[in-house]
Structure 1
């Protein structure tokens, strides 16, 4: 028993160290570069009469705002209050927790560039399709009148002009971000270490031998009600893959867990009607399942 705990602890330290080094470096770089991102233009694009441009802007905003599923809600309400087109708002809701630069960089390190590119493009496009579909079916009618004070992040012109100030604030923001996600990274590293050292290989092999066409939607169903940040799920998924668990259901679990969660659904209940919430959950499930099947067809 002591030997097993020792192995788990050593693996936990190794995973934690690698993840934190990557996280700190990537987070600082992103924070530094975001000072030069054209947020004002993105907001104008989101209100564009060209629906494709507006929808793309919503997905891109989700890409550059590294929020978990629950953290998207305040900005979501602000966008609704500013009369941003509904499909753009919904596209943002789906893309924000699933796409952000440091997660994508970390995914490339763990799973390789090919898997990361497929994940990024699929999630980006699928978010836009869902936003467009919900708008076309007039789900906007199922949004409640909720007003929360808040603003869309704006550019800090001083940071653009003052390099030292930008560096200083980037360090500060990186530290603040670390404090919010550290526990999730450590939990993910711990669970990953336990899976690697304590879960019987025969159990993972049994799942691997099953027909993945039904394992993938099952993984998506399991993932949707969980509250899993990608920073938590990635190290767990890495260990699953290292132990022979197929990448297709792993990606379905990852997207389902990060795309929706029970806390987020409860928060959305104050903004959306039951019909729109049901459509949201169904959309996340379909996105997770479709992505899993795509990885299966490509056969990594």
Structure 2
């Protein structure tokens, strides 16, 4: 059994690490052509739909987890950017990442990745504008951001891209290893019958349960991808898996602690409800589709 676990771990970890390094390097290589100053200008413009689209683009090209998104959000709020647009970035940044979406495509398939991307993007926009419409902008504390480095345009630089890839890999590698380890243990040690009996089938209620379980956990998408691949292969329904992926990456206890320092409690509560709603709705969509 443990030989199967080891072989599975080597296979999963090796594949994900190679893909992550290659895609991260390509993304970092083209970062120099991204006009961050113009993107932020569009986000501050009067065209709400265009600003929302730009916020999604910025969320897509900036590989932030839920916690590391907070300094960028504070900086945007200090710049008096439109509240709804900042919220769109806050919700979409942790769940949209070109590298992670590539890993998701390789492990879960193109159809799942496309639906995931479209649904999370649309829900981020809807939630962001809804919170703005409900007047939650008044629940933002006056917090100044110090020591924050602006996102700026840098010229095409092979060495800089390689350095950034190595830095990012050092941050993400532990999560990939943890995810591959848990996934390989599930693959080799957990009976398929156990997964299918308790987490498979037509149990729709597993979707909101998975969404609730994922919120307090600090699990990066890079950790969840290999775990979800094995869970689905073992027979777990796709709906609960996607709900767990979105809720665990969209919120966490460390992030909620940081948000409590910049938001009043009613906005923090609204944030948690929004992440839960996004995860549940997405999971049910996958469940019924």
TM-score w.r.t. the length of structure 1 is 0.94
Partner of 1:191: 182
Q: How is 1:1-300 mapped onto 2 (pairs within 5 angstroms)?
A: 4-149=1-146, 150-156=148-154, 159-160=155-156, 166-298=157-289
Contact 2:201 2:237 in 1 (8 A): no
Contact 1:38 1:155 in 2 (8 A): yes
SS at match of 1:212: coil
1:28 and 1:210 map into 2 onto residues whose CA distance is 40
Q: C-alpha displacement at 1:38, in angstroms?
A: 2.2
Q: How many residues align?
A: 288
Query: Which ranges in structure 2 are unaligned for 5 or more consecutive residues?
Result: none
Q: C-alpha displacement at 1:211, in angstroms?
A: 3.4
Q: C-alpha displacement at 1:294, in angstroms?
A: 1.0
Of residues 269-278 and 144-153 in structure 1, the stretch that sits farther from structure 2 once superposed is 144-153
Q: CA offsets per residue over residues 144-192 of structure 1, 9 Å max, x none?
A: 0000122430101xx24xxxxx111111100000001110000000000
Contact 1:87 1:132 in 2 (8 A): yes
Query: Which ranges in structure 1 are unaligned for 5 or more consecutive residues?
Result: 161-165
Contact 1:252 1:292 in 2 (8 A): yes
2:172 and 2:180 map into 1 onto residues whose CA distance is 12
Over aligned residue pairs, what C-alpha RMSD do you find? 1.1
Contact 2:78 2:144 in 1 (8 A): yes
Contact 2:200 2:236 in 1 (8 A): no
Contact 1:59 1:88 in 2 (8 A): no
Q: C-alpha displacement at 1:61, in angstroms?
A: 1.1
Contact 1:195 1:239 in 2 (8 A): yes
TM-score w.r.t. the length of structure 2 is 0.97
